[in-house]
Amino acid sequence: MKLTLVRHTSVDVPKGICYGITNVPLAPTFRSELKQVRENLGARNFEAIFSSPLTRCTTLASAIISEQDIQIDSRLTELDFGNWEMVGWNDIFESMEGKNWFADYVNTRCPNGESFNDLILRGESFLEDLQQTTYTQILIFTHAGIIRVLMCLLQDKTPEEVFYKPLEYGQIITFNLDHR
């Protein structure tokens, strides 16, 4: 089974602001980025389309897919940063809770939010459900966090290897998911 993941396009949020599960607006560059994502996807056919429920993903998915149903799945949302949503990363890093999280983001939850392990559990649950299907080509609109989770789960990478891996807005990555 091939999983084609599309990271949402650029958002209209000041640089340096933490926005995980917050519904933030898309950047004014959306139309040009949409065109590029369409071109990069080409004329591939997908048996199933999934999207995070956050509007930055559903807007992109709806603009690209018009002839198929888009299945919304909350397991595909970005990491829940809890109290840190829409707070500056510098402020987060300077706080004691922030220092603790950065020292062990894999296991430490954001205040009233999630850890990377929580995100991995959501990703595992999603993949387990996919393995029960007969799909061979799937398109998924999601976030950098979920893409990093799938790198861990499907490419045997560690969270530390993928945490700082740059993922561009509108980037497309394909994974193979073998039925176990």
- Taking the C-alpha atoms of residue 125 and residue 74, their distance in angstroms, rounded to an integer, is 11
Q: Give the angle 174-9-154 at the CA atoms, nearest 5°.
A: 25
Among 2-11, 36-45, 75-84, whose mean pLDDT is lowest? 36-45
Per-residue burial over 88-125, b = 16 or more CB atoms within 10 Å of its CB, e = otherwise: eeeebeeeeebeebeeebbebbbeebbbbebbbebbee
Tell me the percentage of the chain whose pLDDT exceeds 70: 99
149 burial (CB, 10 Å; 0-12 / 13-18 / 19+) is buried
With a cut of 70, say whether residue 104 has pLDDT above it: yes
What does the block give as tokens for 141?
A: 């609109």
Residue 66 is predicted with a pLDDT of 86
| pLDDT bucket at 180, cuts 50 / 70 / 90 | very low
* AA letter at 54: L
Q: Which pairing describes strands 172-176 and 70-72: parallel, antiparallel, or unpaired?
A: unpaired
The beta strand positions in the chain, using DSSP E, are 2-7, 48-51, 70-72, 137-142, 172-176
Closest CA to 124 of 87, 97, 152: 152
- Sign (positive or negative) of CA dihedral 163, 6, 156, 111: positive
- Sign (positive or negative) of CA dihedral 162, 54, 42, 71: positive
177: which residues sit within 8 A by CB, 6+ positions away? 1, 2, 3, 127, 130, 131, 154
Domains in the chain, please, with CATH?
A: 2-176 (3.40.50.1240)
The average pLDDT across 114-137 equals 96
